[in-house]
Amino acid sequence: MNLFKKIAVVVAGLLCLPMLLTSCKGRDGMVDTESSLSGEATTGEEESLTEDLSSHEENSLTLTTENGTTAVTTTQKGQTTEKPGSTNQTPTQTTQKTTTGVKTPQTKQEWVNAYNQALAKKTLKCTSSSQKVSRGIFGLSDNESASINILDPDQSGLLAQFQRENISGVTLPKLTESEVSSVKQSGNSVVFTLNTATAENTISQGKGGYVALVDDARINELVENIKAYLNVPGSVKISSVSHKLSGGTLTVTFNADYTAIRSVKYAAEQSIQAKLRYLVFTVNGDMAFRLSANFQ
């Protein structure tokens, strides 16, 4: 039964109400309160019509329509009013809550700033570091045939003097935009690629953003270690040293809003061209190291 047929049934019931009340009077003219009228309109599980009559002047009808909306109509002293819940009521609009999105850095400078600000919180510690020799040849300048390759199997003892693990005091420096050649982001992982850096005769940690490198103190230490290992008498002096730092990468894992750093994986290459003076001889050194460090 559609809505219009239901309304017709309701109106018919109201028109018949006076006659029904009259027929229900007793001998003393009072209404028999035990009498009741109920009407059923309909077939179908989704449609229902319920009509309740009371002994008061106000009578109400409850109508449930096909779409499940409840309409309540009240009749009082010939007036009809419609209460909230009718089919004419405007549906309530739901407002969805929106979260303010995280501002992801876009430019190289913005990423460098985000890195430096997170690094300033000083929550990272170096968990491992190393200097691995990838090339090491020493020879006399006037006799190229008289050379030593420290990577030869029979030079393992000498090689051990050059390589290091778990270097103490390794820390990450702040970066400048000029030190960074590119920045690549994938989610919370950001790779900072460092520009190539060079130095003559002196070099310190943090040069060009590079760390765990073979610095001045380490060069002097190597000279003394080699001299002792080879049991060389007399003194060995460093005439000149040229450094080249390349292939530096910092793989940084940020938190969700890029305000803190969870971990950093560092890798780089360092090549060293050195001239050493021993007695009247000049010894040329051609070395290369793979540098690495991890921070959490």
Burial of 71 (0-12, 13-18, 19+ CB in 10 A): buried
- Mean pLDDT calculated for residue range 15-27: 47
- Mean pLDDT calculated for residue range 58-67: 44
The 3-state DSSP class for residue 142 equals: coil
Task: Work out whether strand 79-82 and strand 70-76 pair parallel, antiparallel, or are unpaired.
Answer: antiparallel
Q: What is the pLDDT of residue 84?
A: 47
| 195 phi/psi in degrees, rounded to 5 | -70, 160
Report the distance separating Cα 84 and Cα 87, nearest Å.
Answer: 9
Nearest one of 162, 192, 191, 188 to 177, comparing CA atoms: 192
**How many C-beta neighbours within 10 Å does residue 191 have?**
14
| 4 phi/psi in degrees, rounded to 5 | -65, -40
Q: What is the pLDDT of residue 230?
A: 83
The H or E element that residue 289 is part of is strand 281-295
Percent of the chain with pLDDT over 90: 57
Contact 254, 114 (CB under 8 A): yes
Q: List Cβ neighbours of 243 (8 Å cut-off, separation of 6 or more).
A: 198, 199, 200, 203, 207, 213, 214, 270, 271, 272
Average the pLDDT over each of 6-20, 49-63, 140-154, 231-245 and give the range with the smallest value: 49-63
pLDDT exceeds cutoff 90 at 104 = yes
Q: Positive or negative, the Cα torsion across 202, 208, 211, 213?
A: negative
Report the distance separating Cα 241 and Cα 286, nearest Å.
Answer: 10
Q: List Cβ neighbours of 36 (8 Å cut-off, separation of 6 or more).
A: 53
As a whole number, the mean pLDDT across the chain is 77
Q: What is the pLDDT of residue 45?
A: 42
More confident site: 141 or 220: 220
| 28 phi/psi in degrees, rounded to 5 | -90, 10
**How many C-beta neighbours within 10 Å does residue 180 have?**
21
Q: Tens digits of per-residue pLDDT, 183-235? A: 999 999 999 999 999 999 999 999 999 999 999 999 999 999 888 888 888 88
Q: What is the pLDDT of residue 7?
A: 52
Report the distance separating Cα 69 and Cα 281, nearest Å.
Answer: 104
Count the residues in the chain: 296
Contact 274, 141 (CB under 8 A): no
pLDDT exceeds cutoff 60 at 74 = no
- Mean pLDDT calculated for residue range 75-98: 41
Q: Which residue has the tokens 């409840």?
A: 70
Six-digit token pair at 214?
Answer: 């073979």
- Mean pLDDT calculated for residue range 61-82: 45
More confident site: 239 or 8: 239
Contact 155, 149 (CB under 8 A): yes
Task: pLDDT band for 118, please (50, 70, 90 cuts).
Answer: very high
- Mean pLDDT calculated for residue range 4-9: 50
Six-digit token pair at 91?
Answer: 């549906």
Amino acid of residue 140: L
pLDDT exceeds cutoff 90 at 171 = yes
34-43, 63-72, 284-293: range with highest mean pLDDT = 284-293
